[in-house]
Amino acid sequence: MFAALDLGTNNCRLLIVSSERGRLRIVDHYNRVVRLGEGLYKTGQLSQAAMERTMIALRQCASKIEGKKFSAFYAVATEACRRASNATFFLDQVLSETGLNIKVISPREEVELALAGCNSFLYTNVLKRNKTKALLFDIGGGSTEIAWVKIDFTRRRYILIGCYSIPVGILTLREQFTVSSLQNYYQMFEFVLAKVLEFEAIHKIQAEIIREQVQFIGVSGTITTLASILLNQNKYNRAAIDGLSLQTIQLKEIIKSLLIQKFQETEILSEKYKKRIHYLLPGCAIFDAIHTLWPVQDIVVADRGIRDGIIAKMMYNKVRNSYKKQYQLNLS
């Protein structure tokens, strides 16, 4: 068995899988909104309330892990713990109380894990074979990661040309801007657009878009939620979302509808999405800015992320070490 824990700015996620002959089976999983980064933008620290909420979730994760024998287990923390001045204190407390040793990873490591989680798309017909480049973006709670990738379908691999971390996510953006009008929404939009322009200046991605060589890979709760609304799902169905190919214009239409719902009070969404709209709109502003700068036509929706990337890397290392041992035995 393999287990991966992702402690983000907004969510705490655990995934436990077993592997037999290369086939994965989910043994257990856990996902809770903990808002660890709540208040971080103003204070620079993790609040006591946020740490207590998160500790409750981590104790539950530890109980799911306890007693199981793993080939490998890896736990990581991202933007909130990268930025908070008291993150080391909190993670030491987590280790002491739960036994979970959580490593704070860099933005590049976060991007690489998100890419590893989407690696199986290279073996299927999900990604379009006539497009040689991809922009992967992961809209998180405290930051947004962007990866500029060259894809080699023949060799079934990708090359990371460049990556970029914007210190803006759905939680921090919501705290930074009061979304009480359409004007506020576009203030968020302009703020994010100014950030992503820096990446465009380095990599000249727009030129590749003009040549029709680029497709999006959207890795985030924002994108999966928009896709779920598009499919009119009463209950979220991961199997129908993960790997779904869409036209970006379809998601833009959903965003337009959300803005109408928020600012014109037109009844178009179910109660489920009305409750999430305050956190959904900042994510929409981030996607809106990314798409405005890079008007890519095609997007693959990925309901996968850091946990999946960790599992994929652990399995790869396990297989590689097994072959290495077998090779050494053959030599002897």
Q: 19-53: per-residue pLDDT in tens?
A: 887 678 889 999 999 999 999 999 999 999 999 99
CATH topology for 2-106 is Nucleotidyltransferase; domain 5 (3.30.420)
pLDDT at 322: 57
What backbone phi and psi angles, to 5 degrees, belong to 134?
Answer: -140, 145
* Pairwise CA distance, residues 35 & 49, whole Å: 10
CATH classification of 119-303, choosing from 3.30.450.40, 3.40.30.10, 3.40.50.1220, 3.30.420.150?
3.30.420.150
pLDDT at 62: 96
Query: If we measure between CA atoms, which residue out of 215, 240, 243 comes closest to residue 128?
Result: 215
Task: Sketch the domain layout of the chain as residue ranges.
Answer: 2-106, 119-303
pLDDT at 260: 83
Please state the pTM of the whole predicted model. Answer: 0.90
pLDDT at 332: 47
User: Tokens standing for 302?
Assistant: 């990925």
User: Do the two domains 2-106 and 119-303 of this chain adopt the same fold?
Assistant: yes
pLDDT at 22: 67
pLDDT at 67: 87
The structure tokens 């929404």 sit at 185
* Pairwise CA distance, residues 24 & 54, whole Å: 28
Ranges of the chain with pLDDT below 70: 22, 265-275, 319-332
Q: What angle do CA 264, 268, 274 make, to 5 degrees?
A: 85
User: Tokens standing for 197?
Assistant: 């322009």
Give the three-class secondary structure for 194: helix
